[in-house]
Amino acid sequence: MVKEDDGRIGVVAALVRSSFLVDAVYAASAREYGLTQQQGQLLCVLMGRSYGMGELGATLGLAKSSLTGLVDRTERNGLVRREPDPRDTRAVRVALTERGAGLVDEFYAETCKRIDDLAAGLSAAERDALAGLLGRVVLDNEVPVVFQEPDEGAAAGAR
């Protein structure tokens, strides 16, 4: 049973419900850019650099067959390309195409704005506290970097 008379919810419900909230905003943003949520995640991960299929699967938490299908569909849309891995001739790396880099820059900026707007009712101190606490939860649980800080994303896009 969830008790919400005083506007307070527990940590479990707060984390789960905020996860749903962020997911919904992320999915809506992706749809507006003609992407699935998974394609949006793939493009955001690739903003910083190319990835080998194995490390990409581990980062996104996808099985090999699911990742292959995701990369295939995104490649057919001209947003990513497979390229030979210079360290292993049997392996490939996945990288953004020029079109993919342009699209992800726009998608990323808009998605960051929308997610940032979710906390618009908080003071600067409350935002800092929220970021600090959630950051600790993420780091303590070794969550892979699937979405960069807004400043990091802009820097990666400038490279």
User: Structure pTM?
Assistant: 0.82
Give 51's strand partners.
Answer: 94
Q: How far is residue 71 from each of residues 39, 59, 93, 96, measured CA to CA in Å? A: 8, 14, 11, 11
pLDDT digits (tens, 9 = 90+) for 72-102: 999 999 999 999 988 888 889 999 999 999 9
- 35-158 CATH: 1.10.10.10
pLDDT digits (tens, 9 = 90+) for 7-46: 789 999 999 999 999 999 999 999 999 999 999 999 999 9
**Which residues lie below 8 Å from residue 113, measured CB to CB, with a gap of 6+?**
none
Domain extents in the chain: 35-158
User: Which two structure tokens, joined as six digits, stand for 54?
Assistant: 């194995």
157 pLDDT higher than 50: no
